[in-house]
């Protein structure tokens, strides 16, 4: 192989909290002993992309250079997590080795995890990234894994294309082929969800017989968005009542649907067959849950149960059994409807607008 004077620049993005940051993937291939280094504050999952990208390029029919490869993820002061940079790194290597030339890259943002055979795997947070890209620069073209296409197409004002294999994306960038393009049809999707009874999970408030006083209390809580504590002996229907509370809450508005879906997309919990959540969440963590799992946490904090219950119900069964620090940590989110998690790397805020339902047995 000859010299590679080309410095490849591919646009990508990542998320920190509920914010999206654009990332410039710079790839340099220079003479020297074969090595593959990634800089720019990557975490171990990003560093491991060297082996995934190497195998994906070879198994897709392209040549992998036996040179010194340096990948810089700029800006370097933002910590990069996850495998979503595999695809832009692979594209950058092919550009730097002159196996790919394209005039489209200036307006293209790519994310995706590569498997060893070159296929592109879905990544979390696509809905959040698509929304922020459309808000900041609607001229960008967003290339995502094919399995994330329906999710990303829910955002209007941005062109979204889905690729199943590295060869498909390279062919699209070279102008030799097209990627699957989909425009979100919200009314059709809403009709599909309701026709298939995917919103109604079968837990309806009308199923409850008797319990007039408890049902009246829940109706008042639902009407005013109040928190409620159910106290009674085991077997009196406390859990049954709490699970059916979402069925009498008002339907989610479009903005609320989008906000809930963004949180679930970020957490990797968005159902593959339903790219958007139309039903109100119901979360019921075990009483041994840690403060981080309830409030949210980690080096790059992820949403906890209180955020996953946004615009829905958080049910704490056996309330006195929860650790005291967990219950104390709920005070501020209950008051401000938002939770702010502070780390040395920065502060991250997540929505926490939920109805708290507690259940406990009476004191002996």
3-state secondary structure at position 61: coil
Give start-end residues of each CATH 3.40.50.300 domain in the chain.
Answer: 199-360
Q: Which residues contact 258 (CB under 8 A, 6 or more apart)?
A: 127, 131, 154, 276
Which CATH fold would you assign to the domain 8-181?
A: Ribosomal Protein S5; domain 2 (3.30.230)
C-alpha distance across the termini of the chain, in Å:
81
Q: In tens digits, what is the pLDDT along the chain, a chain of 364 residues?
A: 456 567 999 999 999 888 899 999 999 999 889 999 999 989 888 999 999 999 999 999 999 999 999 999 999 988 898 899 999 999 999 999 999 987 788 889 999 999 999 999 999 999 999 998 888 877 789 999 999 998 888 888 888 999 999 999 999 999 888 888 866 555 566 565 555 444 555 688 988 888 899 999 999 999 999 999 999 999 899 999 999 999 999 988 888 988 999 999 999 898 877 788 888 999 999 999 999 999 998 777 889 999 999 999 999 999 999 999 999 999 999 999 999 998 877 788 999 999 999 999 997 6
3-state secondary structure at position 276: coil
| β-strand partners of 71 | 27, 38
Extract long-range pairs of 135-139: CB within 8 Å, 24+ residues apart.
136/20, 136/22, 139/107
Give start-end residues of each CATH 3.30.230.10 domain in the chain.
Answer: 8-181
Provide the whole-model pTM.
Answer: 0.88
CATH ID of 199-360, from 3.40.190.10, 3.50.4.10, 3.40.50.300, 1.10.3210.10:
3.40.50.300
Task: For 88-130, give the DSSP string.
Answer: HHHHHHHHHTTS---SSGGGEEE--EEPTTSBEE--TTHHHHH
Largest Cα–Cα separation, the chain: 83
């Amino acid at each position: 192989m000859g010299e590679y004077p080309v410095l490849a620049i591919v646009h990508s993005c990542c998320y920190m909290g509920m914010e999206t940051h654009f990332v410039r993937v710079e790839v340099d291939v220079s003479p020297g002993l074969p090595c593959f280094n990634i800089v720019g504050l990557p975490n171990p999952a990003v560093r491991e992309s060297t082996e995934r990208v190497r195998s994906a390029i070879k198994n897709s029919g392209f040549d992998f250079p036996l040179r010194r490869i340096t990948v810089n993820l700029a800006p370097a002061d933002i910590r990069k997590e996850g495998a979503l940079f595999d695809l832009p790194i692979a594209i950058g290597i092919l550009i730097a080795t002159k196996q790919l030339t394209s005039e489209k890259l200036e307006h293209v943002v790519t994310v995706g995890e590569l498997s060893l055979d070159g296929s592109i795997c879905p990544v979390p947070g696509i809905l959040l990234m698509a929304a922020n890209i459309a808000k900041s620069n609607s001229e960008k073209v967003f290339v995502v894994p094919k399995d994330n296409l329906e999710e990303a197409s829910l955002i209007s004002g941005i062109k979204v294309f889905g690729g199943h294999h590295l060869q498909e994306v390279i062919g699209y960038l070279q102008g030799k082929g097209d990627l699957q393009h989909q425009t979100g049809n919200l009314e059709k999707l809403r009709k599909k969800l309701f026709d298939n009874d995917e919103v109604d999970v079968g837990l309806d408030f009308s199923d409850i017989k008797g319990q007039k006083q408890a049902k009246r209390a829940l109706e008042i809580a639902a009407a005013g968005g109040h928190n409620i504590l159910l106290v009674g002996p085991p077997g009196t229907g406390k859990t049954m009542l709490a699970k059916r509370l979402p069925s009498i809450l008002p339907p989610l508005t479009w903005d609320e649907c989008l906000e809930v879906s963004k949180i679930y997309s970020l957490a990797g919990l968005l159902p593959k067959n339903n790219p958007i959540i139309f039903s109100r969440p119901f979360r019921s963590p075990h009483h041994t849950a840690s403060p981080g799992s309830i409030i949210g946490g980690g080096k790059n904090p992820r949403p906890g149960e209180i955020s996953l219950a946004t615009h829905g119900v958080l049910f704490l069964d056996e309330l006195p059994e929860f650790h005291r620090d967990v219950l104390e940590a709920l005070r501020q989110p209950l008051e401000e409807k938002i939770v702010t998690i502070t780390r040395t790397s920065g502060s991250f805020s997540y929505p926490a607008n939920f109805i708290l339902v507690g259940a406990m047995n009476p004191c002996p």
